[in-house]
Amino acid sequence: MVLTTSDLAKYPFLSEAAEYIRARIPDLKIEDLADPSFEPVLDRAEERIREALLNNPPEVTYRTRNTEIEIISFPVAVMIAAATGNEYIKRRYALAEARRAYTLLRLEDRDKILDVARNFNWRLKPVGEEDLQTNRSYDFKLNFIDYLRNAGNFHESEWKLVNRFML
């Protein structure tokens, strides 16, 4: 399945979003952002960070009115957050974007979720199986190695391997 510009605006962290930006603005440099034509991008990047810091819980709103600004403002906001050197701002912004992606992915069909997973080289497969012990239904299964590679960064007990359903 091909990702649309609307998809890239929803999930601007995908490699296809970076390719989209490179195709439209080759050789983009940080100094280029001072050009007045980038003002809407800078405004949206600032808004993303402001929302992350002020919303509780932290979340960045998905704006549908201009997908190009939505796509380009993401890496600009990441640069601004990183440039502050403030760990709280960087973590809060990352969490807000993660929550936004989570909210949007919950509304997607299986094929779109599989496309996003492929972007990270995750081996994700649809299963639609039910865990008989917990009566919980699962839509996907993730390769064990991919899980271990990513879950090491999570410290909550729900992510511990002993608390996960294994196929």
pLDDT one-digit tens code per residue, 17-68: 999 999 999 888 888 889 999 999 999 999 999 999 999 999 899 988 899 9
- Rounded Cα gap, residues 67 and 63, in angstroms: 8
Is residue 104 within 8 Å of 12, Cβ to Cβ?
no
- Rounded Cα gap, residues 43 and 76, in angstroms: 10
Is the pLDDT reported for residue 95 higher than 90?
Answer: yes
Tokens of 166: 């294994």
**What is the per-residue pLDDT for 71?**
97
- Residue 107 has what DSSP assignment? T
pTM confidence score:
0.84
CA distances from 78 to 19, 55, 84, 86 (A): 17, 17, 10, 12
Greater confidence (124 vs 11) lies with 11
Is the pLDDT reported for residue 146 higher than 90?
Answer: no
**What is the per-residue pLDDT for 122?**
87
